Chain A
C-alpha cells in the first residue's frame, strides 16, 4: 500500500493507537477496531478496496481482514442504509412483543429485515439476537443507541426522527 490509502488521516491515527494496546508484532489484534473505524467513515459498510486499505495499514494479508469482516455480524460488506436499526427478537424480547415490533417496522418502512429503504436512510438489520438489554424488552438498537421498553408508537417516533 505504498503511500496512497483510502483511510482518512484520523482513522489511521486511531488504528495505530489501537494497535499500540497489543504487544509488538500483534497488530492483527487491532483489526476489529480498524474495520469498525473504516466502516463508520464509509457510511456503514466495507468495500473491498477499503478492507485492502485496512490490511495495508496493519500490514496484514488481505484475507485476514476479509475473514474477520465476514465473520462478525456488526460488519457489512455491501452498501446499506445510513441508519442501522436492529430490533431484538430473541427469547426475552420475543416474550414481550419483539417479533411484533419488528413486523410493525417492516410494514411501516416497506422493507424486510436485512433490507434498506430505497432512499438509503434506514437499514433494518436482519432479525437481531439478544443485545443484553433483556429486562428492557422489547428493545432496539439504533446506531449504537439502545431504546428499551418500546411500544410501536415509540419505535415509530424514534425511526421517524432519524436524519435524512
Chain B
C-alpha cells in the first residue's frame, strides 16, 4: 500500500496502554515541556517553532496556528486563557475522541506548551457531554497523573511555571463547537455565538484574552518541538504541513481513523479504508465533515487530501472527515438528512438561519414525499443563498454549502425525483 501511516496525534499501534503517562514518556513524551520547566525552552522559541512549522487549525477553518497565538496580547495582565475545543460534533468527525481515549497526554503536553507560548496560565478542555463514558475519564486520569508528576499546577520546575488545567464537560449542542458559542457555554450560558469583533484574543472567556484551539491542533504541537519545524513541514504538502487524522466513514469496507501526512491522495486513502464496500462504484464524497461541499467521484478521485487541493476542487479539508457514498445513495435523501441536522442545531439567534434551515428541511421533505414542483429547486437554492453570509456564526454557511453543492453536482437527480413523484401522483388521480 502506497500510503504511509504516521503517528503524531494517535499513538503508535504497538504501544501498550498508550494513554498512561509511562507509555507516553517512553515515546519521548513531555521532553519539550520538561525543557520549559527547566528554563531551557522559552515562550518565544515555542511560538517561533509553531509559526515556522506551518501548522494550521484542525477544527475546520485551517487558520494558521502560530499566527492565531500571536494575536494574544503580550505581557497582559493575568489571567488569560487557553481553551481546547474537544466538542467534536461535526458530522462524520470522530478523531478527537480517539486522541482523548488513546493519547490524552499528547494533548495535555500540547496545551501546556501552547499556554506557555501565549503567556496563559489557565487552560480548560471543553469536552462534549456525550464523551462522559470513556474519553472524559481517560482525560481526567491523565490529568491526575500529570499533576502528580509535577507537570501541571503552580510553581512548576526550576522555572516556576504556572499552568492549571481543568476539564469542562458540555451537555449536547453542536453550536458549542463554534468557538464563541463554546465560550458562552463555558461561562454557564446557552451556547449562542457572539459577534466578532472583538475576537477572543481581545475579549474571550470572562472578557479576558483567550485562544481557542482544536484538540488535534494542540496534539500536533509536541511533535513540532521534538522534531523541529522543518521536519513537520516536510511531512505534509505545500501549505498543508504535518499530518491529519482522516475519519473515513460511510460506504467503505474498513471505516476508521487513519493518520497520514496531509496531501495523501484520495485514492490511497480510500484504498487504505478497504475501498468502496460491496464491490460497488463510488458516487460522491464529502471530504471534510458534513458542512463542506460534496464532490462527485470523478472530481474527488483527482484530489490530494490537503487544504489547497480540496479548495481548488470546490470543497474544503474541513475536519478531515471523509464521508463516502456509493452508487446506490439517494442524494435527495442524503441531503435531507444533512439539512435536518442544521435545522435541529441552529441556535435560533439569527433569523436567516433559524427560519431558513427549517425551510430547507421541509422543502427537501416535500421533494421526497412527491409534493414538490420543478420551480422548488431554484427556491431551495435561493433560501440557501440567503442564509449564507447573513448570520453571526458559520453554522448558516454550513447549512447552505451542502444544498448548493448537492444541487451543483447532482441537479438532474433532484429533477428526476420531482418528475417521477409528480407522474406517480398524476397516475394516482387518473
> Which positions in A face B, CB cutoff 8 Å?
21, 23, 26, 28-33, 35-36, 64, 67-68, 71-75, 89-92, 94-96, 99, 127, 129-137, 141, 144-146
Contacts and interface: CB of A to CB of B under 8 A. Distances in A.
A95 B133 contact: no
A144 B132 contact: yes
Interface stretch (B90-98, B232-240, B375-383): B90-98
B91 A92 contact: yes
Contacts of A21: 124, 166-168
B67 interface: no
23 contacts: A28-B187, A28-B188, A36-B171, A68-B190, A72-B190, A73-B171, A73-B172, A90-B341, A91-B286, A91-B337, A95-B325, A96-B251, A129-B345, A131-B130, A132-B97, A132-B128, A135-B248, A135-B249, A137-B250, A137-B255, A141-B133, A144-B130, A144-B132
B171 A75 contact: yes
A148 to B, nearest CB: 10
- Across the A-B interface, give the 5 residue pairs with the lowest CB-CB distance, nearest first: A73-B172, A72-B171, A28-B188, A92-B249, A71-B190
The residue among A64, A72, A137 with the most chain B CB atoms within 10 A of its own CB is A72
Interface string B202-223: 0000100000000000000000
Contact of B337 (A89, A134, A136, A144): A89
A129 B174 contact: yes
Contacts of A33: 169
B389 to A, nearest CB: 24
A129 B344 contact: yes
A92 B323 contact: yes
B129 interface: yes
Contacts of A146: 133-134
Interface string B324-338: 110001000010011
A134 B91 contact: yes
Given A30-B188, A135-B249, 12 more contacts: A26-B187, A29-B186, A31-B188, A32-B170, A68-B171, A91-B323, A130-B89, A132-B88, A133-B94, A134-B94, A136-B94, A144-B133
A35 B169 CA distance: 11
A65 to B, nearest CB: 9
A141 B341 CA distance: 18
A52 to B, nearest CB: 16
A67 B190 contact: yes
Contacts of A134: 91-94, 247, 249, 255, 321, 323
Nearest to A92: B249
Contacts of A96: 250-251
Nearest to B171: A72
B257 interface: yes
B65 interface: no
B90 A130 contact: yes
Contact of A129 (B256, B321, B329, B341): B341
Nearest to A31: B188
Contacts of A30: 188
A91 B290 contact: yes
Nearest to B328: A95
A141 B206 CA distance: 34
B341 A130 contact: yes
B312 interface: no
